[in-house]
């Protein structure tokens, strides 16, 4: 069912190229190039009603908006190059085998996905197909689950994984973007009018979505523009600025990587081209290797989506505290940097990485609310919401993940703010009710003298909340609980 890559030239074949939402591009698309090289090709996207209906779209409104952008551009580009992206309503496990048979294709090709539910889907589709389902690598830089320790086990620590990656992974050259595409075969064209389940790219209105203009625009051309802008502006100082929440110091390519509007290889090669062996280049590629690590972990340990990576955390006594949960999700905990992160998420479908770490640490350690609740909330609103990376980020923050931050490291939201948002600009952007407060109090407004608060138009408890928990008390409460719980559990 799978192929690492393919260059064997075969006699003309007919291939169904199954685009499936993580490869919404024409550049560096190995299955597409392979299909073109072999002969006829039919590009397909299955519009599964489970995802493409208002109730479900409301569960992931920003990702859906980004996906629709990317899908529209893909359909337009495929048409411009001489073919047509066929959009067909139904479940992949039914639609793909039916169409493969109806159009007498020789193969179905797609990119491999790492998630357990996607792997199960692919097994079902493969079992129902009368021809091979050929899955190509490309979601990651190197096939997940192939780098192994000296004792042939998956890596559980990032640094040796990274060392192995840098020593063993060879990142192939990019596949060229096709200048034209073979037209749909005539017999396929003639069956289209009778294909009742054929559809077009749904509009946001079809799915009951109201457009949020603050969400990044999806699509291959926008991804490429973002990569170019990053190379031009922030890349050279990535190592110094990546943790600064107040600066545009990172690439903002995460949603593009998630939806494949750009490939990981394109980003990897661009970083080598633009940054070479500089410190900025190394630090940036370190993050891309973290992405590899999270995907490999999910490949080897699919159960992490259901339970903590570290079994010692199973059954951890997280609290059900609806008041605290509401304060955290709405950005009203009284800790400015935590609140800025929550509001950035709701407004933009994105949160700066440092702010994600602070906010996740606060939810799990200060408020003792399960990382799984935070993880699900982020999955709902993040445009880049990705099963592997989001789960890893949350488990890392809670202390129960693969090579996680030790449980006893509890972020102090005030000192984190002072260090990574020194002028308070990040807080002021998302928590405007604090915007007039002097910088020295911006990360701890309750320490400001009454006159400073009055001058900044702030009434604690009215215009901005008092802290929901006291930092030192919350820290000790978590440490005592975790120490006690983990004592005899290895
Ligand atoms: C609680 C939490 C949840 C997260 N959820 C997600 C998620 O759902 N999707 C997601 O893509 N990232 C997630 N991350 C990782 C990280 O926050 C984002 O990838 C990053 O903020 C995206 O911004 P950027 O594209 O400007 O990153 P850059 O700093 O420019 O990094 C380049 C790319 O490297 C990858 N990357 C960067 N940091 C990490 C990391 N720590 N782990 C894995 N990959 C990384 C991303 O693909 C990113 O686009 C999460 C982190 C935490 C702490």
pLDDT digits (tens, 9 = 90+) for 77-133: 999 999 999 999 999 999 999 999 999 999 999 999 999 999 999 999 999 999 999
Give the residue with greater pLDDT, 2 vs 390: 390
- The predicted pLDDT at position 50 comes to 86
Domain extent, residue 34, equals: 2-139
293 and 343 co-located in one domain: no
What is the rounded distance in angstroms from the CA atom of residue 119 to the CA atom of residue 28?
Answer: 23
Q: Say which CATH number the domain at 451 has.
A: 1.10.579.10
pLDDT at 447 over 70: yes
Q: Is there an atom of ligand 1 within 6 Å of 288 CB?
A: yes
Structural domain includes residue 32:
yes
Share of the chain above pLDDT 90, in %: 96
- The predicted pLDDT at position 11 comes to 61
Structural domain includes residue 146:
no
Mutate to test the pocket of ligand 1, among 393, 394, 397 (most ligand atoms within 8 A of CB): 393
327 and 225 co-located in one domain: no
342 and 479 co-located in one domain: yes
Q: Average pLDDT, stretch 30-50?
A: 96
pLDDT at 276 over 50: yes
What is the three-state SS of 136-155?
ECCCCCCCCCCCCCCCCCCC
Band (pLDDT 50/70/90 cuts) for residue 484 is: very high
Number of domains present in the structure of the chain? 3
Alpha helices (H) along 175-263: 186-191, 220-232, 238-241, 254-259
Structural domain includes residue 451:
yes
pLDDT at 26 over 90: yes
Question: pLDDT digits over 215-252, tens only?
Answer: 999 999 999 999 999 999 999 999 999 999 999 999 99
- The predicted pLDDT at position 237 comes to 98
What is the three-state SS of 258-312?
HHCCCCHHHHHHHHHHHHCCCHHHHHHHHHHHHHHHHHHHHHHCHHHHCCCCCHH
Alpha helices (H) along 305-407: 322-330, 336-348, 353-361, 371-381, 387-398
- For residue 255, the ligand 1 atom closest to its alpha carbon is 11
Mutate to test the pocket of ligand 1, among 262, 389, 397, 409 (most ligand atoms within 8 A of CB): 389
Of 300, 321, 342, which closes a domain? Answer: 300
Q: Is there an atom of ligand 1 within 6 Å of 321 CB?
A: no
What is the rounded distance in angstroms from the CA atom of residue 282 to the CA atom of residue 278?
Answer: 6
290 and 367 co-located in one domain: no
- For residue 242, the ligand 1 atom closest to its alpha carbon is 29
Structural domain includes residue 227:
yes
CA torsion 113-76-194-183 (nearest 10°) is: -90
Nearest alpha carbon to residue 172 among 145, 124, 140: 140
29 and 112 co-located in one domain: yes
349 and 458 co-located in one domain: yes
Band (pLDDT 50/70/90 cuts) for residue 4 is: very low
Q: Average pLDDT, stretch 201-222?
A: 96
Residue whose structure tokens are 């006159």: 451
Q: What is the CA radius of gyration of the chain?
A: 24
Band (pLDDT 50/70/90 cuts) for residue 1 is: low
Band (pLDDT 50/70/90 cuts) for residue 12 is: confident
Whether 195 and 50 have beta carbons less than 8 Å apart is answered as: no
pLDDT at 5 over 50: no
Structural domain includes residue 159:
no
Question: pLDDT digits over 400-418, tens only?
Answer: 999 998 999 999 999 999 9
- For residue 357, the ligand 1 atom closest to its alpha carbon is 53
266 and 350 co-located in one domain: no
- For residue 390, the ligand 1 atom closest to its alpha carbon is 5
293 and 317 co-located in one domain: no
Question: pLDDT digits over 280-329, tens only?
Answer: 999 999 999 999 999 999 999 999 999 999 999 999 999 999 999 999 99
Question: pLDDT digits over 160-185, tens only?
Answer: 999 999 999 999 999 999 999 999 99
| CA 250–ligand 1 middle distance (angstroms) | 10
pLDDT at 8 over 90: no
Question: pLDDT digits over 336-352, tens only?
Answer: 999 999 999 999 999 99
| CA 362–ligand 1 middle distance (angstroms) | 18
| CA 254–ligand 1 middle distance (angstroms) | 6
- Sequence-ordered list of residues with C-beta below 8 angstroms from that of 23, at least 6 positions apart, any chain: 29, 31, 110, 111, 138, 139, 260, 263
Of 91, 109, 139, which closes a domain? Answer: 139
255 and 230 co-located in one domain: yes
| CA 352–ligand 1 middle distance (angstroms) | 8
Q: Is there an atom of ligand 1 within 6 Å of 254 CB?
A: yes
Q: Say which CATH number the domain at 114 has.
A: 3.40.50.620
What is the rounded distance in angstroms from the CA atom of residue 101 to the CA atom of residue 94?
Answer: 11
What is the rounded distance in angstroms from the CA atom of residue 18 to the CA atom of residue 108?
Answer: 7
358 and 481 co-located in one domain: yes
- Sequence-ordered list of residues with C-beta below 8 angstroms from that of 150, at least 6 positions apart, any chain: none
**pTM to 2 decimal places:** 0.97
Structural domain includes residue 160:
no
- Average pLDDT score, the chain: 96
61 and 105 co-located in one domain: yes
Going from the C-alpha of 443 to that of each of 244, 413, 423, the distances in angstroms are 15, 8, 10
474 and 353 co-located in one domain: yes
- For residue 396, the ligand 1 atom closest to its alpha carbon is 53
pLDDT at 10 over 90: no
Look up residue 460 and give its DSSP letter: B
* Contacts within 8 Å (CB) and 24+ apart, 326-330: 327/465, 327/468, 328/359, 328/362, 328/363, 328/367, 328/369, 328/374, 329/377
Count of Cβ atoms closer than 10 Å to residue 190 Cβ: 10
Of 115, 139, 163, which closes a domain? Answer: 139
Going from the C-alpha of 446 to that of each of 163, 221, 391, 414, 469, the distances in angstroms are 46, 46, 33, 11, 12
- The predicted pLDDT at position 280 comes to 98
Q: Is there an atom of ligand 1 within 6 Å of 244 CB?
A: no
Structural domain includes residue 226:
yes
- The predicted pLDDT at position 488 comes to 80
Structural domain includes residue 153:
no
Q: Say which CATH number the domain at 234 has.
A: 1.25.40.80
pLDDT at 137 over 50: yes
pLDDT at 2 over 60: no
């Amino acid at each position: 069912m799978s192929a690492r890559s393919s260059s064997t030239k075969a006699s003309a074949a007919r291939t169904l190229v199954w685009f499936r939402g993580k490869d919404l591009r024409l550049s560096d698309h190995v299955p597409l190039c392979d299909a073109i090289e072999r002969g006829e090709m039919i590009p397909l996207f299955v519009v599964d009603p489970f995802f493409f209906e208002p109730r479900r779209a409301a569960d992931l409104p920003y990702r859906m908006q980004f996906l629709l952008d990317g899908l529209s551009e893909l359909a337009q580009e495929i048409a411009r190059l001489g073919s047509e992206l066929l959009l067909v309503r139904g479940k992949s496990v039914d639609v793909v085998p039916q169409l493969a048979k109806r159009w007498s294709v020789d193969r179905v090709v797609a990119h491999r996905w790492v998630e357990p539910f996607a792997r199960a889907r692919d097994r079902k589709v493969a079992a129902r197909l009368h021809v091979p389902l050929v899955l190509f690598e490309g979601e990651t830089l190197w096939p997940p689950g192939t780098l192994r320790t000296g004792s042939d086990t998956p890596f559980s620590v990032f640094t040796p994984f990274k060392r192995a990656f840098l020593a063993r992974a060879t990142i192939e050259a990019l596949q060229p973007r096709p200048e034209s595409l073979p037209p749909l075969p005539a017999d396929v064209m003639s069956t289209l009018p009778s294909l009742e389940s054929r559809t077009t790219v749904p509009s946001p209105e079809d799915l009951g979505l109201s457009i949020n203009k603050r969400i990044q625009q999806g699509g291959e051309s926008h991804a490429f523009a973002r990569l170019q802008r990053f190379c031009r502006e922030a890349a050279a100082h990535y190592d110094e600025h990546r943790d600064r929440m107040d600066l545009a110091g990172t690439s903002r390519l995460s949603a593009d990587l998630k939806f494949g509007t750009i490939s990981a290889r394109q980003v990897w090669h661009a970083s080598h081209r633009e940054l070479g062996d500089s410190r900025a280049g190394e630090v940036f590629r370190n993050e891309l290797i973290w992405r590899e690590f999270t995907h490999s972990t999910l490949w080897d340990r699919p159960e992490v989506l259901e339970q903590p990576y570290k079994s010692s955390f199973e059954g951890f006594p997280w609290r059900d505290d609806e008041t605290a949960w509401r304060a955290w999700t709405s950005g009203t905990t009284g800790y400015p940097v935590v609140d800025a992160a929550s509001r950035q998420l709701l407004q933009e479908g994105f949160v700066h990485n440092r702010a994600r770490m602070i906010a996740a640490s606060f939810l799990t350690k200060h408020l003792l609310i399960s990382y799984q609740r935070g993880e699900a909330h982020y999955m709902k609103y993040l445009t880049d919401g990705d099963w592997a990376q989001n789960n890893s980020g949350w488990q890392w923050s809670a202390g129960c993940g693969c090579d996680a931050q030790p449980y006893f490291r509890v972020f102090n939201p005030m000192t984190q703010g002072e260090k990574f948002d020194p002028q308070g600009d990040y807080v002021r952007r998302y928590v405007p009710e604090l915007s007039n407060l002097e910088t020295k109090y911006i990360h701890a407004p309750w320490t400001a003298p009454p006159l400073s608060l009055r001058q900044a138009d702030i009434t604690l408890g009215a215009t901005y909340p008092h802290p929901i928990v006291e930092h030192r008390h919350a820290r000790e409460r978590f440490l005592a609980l975790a120490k006690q719980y983990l004592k005899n559990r290895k």
